[in-house]
Amino acid sequence: MQQRYVVPGGRRGSVIGDRELNVLAQLVSSDAPLSAGGWREAFEQAFARHVGARHALSVTSGTVALEIAIQLLDLAPGDEVVVTPQTFQASIQPLLDLDVKVRFCDIDPLTLNMDPAALEPLITDRTRAVILVHYGGCPADMDAIMSLTRPRGITVIEDSAHALGATYRDRRPGALADIATFSFHSTKNITSLGEGGMITLDRDDWAQRVSRYRNNEVDGVYAHGGTDAAKAPAALPWMMFSDEIYDRVCAGIRNAGTNATMSEAAAAVGLAQLDRLDELVERRRLIARRLDEVIAAFPGARPLCAPEGVEHAYHLYTFLVRDRDMRDALLRELDQRGVEVQLRYFPLHLTPEWRFRGHGPGECPVAERLWFEQHMNLPCHPGLLDSQVDHLVDALTAGLGAVTGAAANIRGGTAATV
C-alpha cells in the first residue's frame, strides 16, 4: 500500500535552529546557574520591551500564567466573570475552583473573538473581570472592550497565547488590557523548550505578588511589628534569615505560593526564539495568504480576515464553510489527501464540567453554529516545508473543487518561502 503524503498539523508550532542550540551550549558549558539566573532576567526584560508592558514575569507554562493571573483578581463568592467559549480549556479552567458566577459571551462571526456587542448585556454590578482570548492570533476588538470595562473598574485578562507577533492599531497584545498571559508550548509561535509562560502587566504591586508566588513565597498581606531581629538566634551573618522574617507580621494569606520558576535553558531558548519572531510569523503569514487565495476562489467558503488596523499572527489558520454537509465532506476529502485537520475549539460552555455548573446549548448561538457546522482549521506553521505547503494548497484546491463542483478561480500565488 502506498504511503500517503502527510501535511502535519501544529504539533510543533515553532522551529529550533542553530541560534537556539548555540545558546544552550553556551549555558550548559558555563558555570552559570540553571535556575533563576541571567537568561531568565534577559528574556523577561526583552519580552516586556517587545509587548510594551512595564513588567514581564516568566513561569513554567501558559496554564500556570493563567492560574496566577486569575489569583490576582482576588475573587470572592458571588463575583461574576465574563469569558469567551471559543478557546482552549486552560483559559478559564481555574474558575472551576472558585465560587463565582461565570457568564459566557458569544463571539464575533468575523473573527471568532469575544463580541463587544454581546459583552455589554452580560455586565452587572457584580462583574469583576473579563477573560478573553485573541483567537488564532487575531487580536480582539480591545478598544471597544476596554471602553465597556475600564469605567466600571472591571479587570480584563487577555489570553495572548495565540497572539505573539500580532498587532492591534500599532500596539501589541500583552499591553492592551490589565493583565496578559502567554504560552511558549511547543505548538505556539515561539517555544521555550516545549513549555513555558509569561505574565505581562503594568502594576508594581501585582508584579511583586506574581514574583513572590512563583518563587515559592507566600502571597500574603504583611505589616511591620514582628520580633526584634536583635533577639533572633545567633548564627553566622550569611546564614541569618533576612530582617523581614523577624520584622513582619502576616495579616492574611491569599495563596500559599509554589515553584513556577522557568529554567535557564528554557529562558535562553525563549530569548533566541523571540529574536526570530518576525521571521517565524512572516512564514505563517505567507502560508496563510496562499490558503486565503484558494478558499476565496470557491463558493461557500470564506477565510477569516483580520479587521482593519490588525495584523494577524496566524497561530491557527481558520476558515468557514457554508454548512455541516460541506464541512464534513471537505474534512473527508482533505483526510484522504493526507492533510491533518483539527477543529479548535469545542465550545467550552458545552463541556461536561461547565454543564455541571449550569451552562448549556443556546447560551452562545454564534459560537455553537460556527463550530458545529462551519468551522475548520488547516496546518499553518513554520515547520512546514515548501513541498508540504504546495501539497496542502493542491489538496485544498482539489478538495474544495470536489465538494463544490466548481473550478478554482485563483489569480496565481507565490511560493511560501522564508
CA proximity to 58, closest of 223, 260, 312:
260
Q: Are 146 and 289 in contact (CB under 8 A)?
A: no
The predicted pLDDT at position 268 comes to: 97
Higher pLDDT residue, 232 or 125?
A: 125
The predicted pLDDT at position 248 comes to: 79
Q: What distance separates the 2 farthest-apart alpha carbons in the chain?
A: 87
The predicted pLDDT at position 192 comes to: 97
Give whole-number Cα distances, 236 to 70, 227, 231, 240, 246, in Å.
41, 19, 14, 7, 16
| Cell numbers at 35, concatenated | 535556575
| Cell numbers at 396, concatenated | 485544498
Higher pLDDT residue, 343 or 82?
A: 82
> Which pTM value belongs to this model?
0.93
CA proximity to 131, closest of 171, 99, 104, 169:
104
User: pLDDT tens digits for 352-405?
Assistant: 999 999 999 999 999 999 999 999 999 999 999 999 999 999 999 999 999 999
Higher pLDDT residue, 280 or 8?
A: 280
User: pLDDT tens digits for 202-245?
Assistant: 999 999 999 999 999 899 898 887 666 556 566 665 555 666 67
| Cell numbers at 242, concatenated | 533576612
The predicted pLDDT at position 1 comes to: 34
pLDDT band at 250 (very low <50, low <70, confident <90, very high): confident
Q: How many CB atoms lie within 10 A of CB 20?
A: 22
pLDDT band at 410 (very low <50, low <70, confident <90, very high): low
CA proximity to 316, closest of 367, 372, 380, 373:
380
The predicted pLDDT at position 416 comes to: 37
| Cell numbers at 82, concatenated | 465574563
User: pLDDT tens digits for 278-327?
Assistant: 999 999 999 999 999 999 999 999 999 899 999 999 999 999 999 999 99
The predicted pLDDT at position 14 comes to: 85
CA proximity to 196, closest of 168, 151, 164, 228:
164
Percentage of residues in the chain with pLDDT exceeding 90? Answer: 82
The predicted pLDDT at position 131 comes to: 98
User: pLDDT tens digits for 141-197?
Assistant: 999 999 999 999 999 999 999 999 999 999 999 999 999 999 999 999 999 999 999
- 24 three-class SS: helix
The predicted pLDDT at position 415 comes to: 37
Mean pLDDT of the chain: 92
Lowest mean pLDDT among 253-262, 275-284, 401-410: 401-410
Return the residue matching grid coordinates 558555563.
30
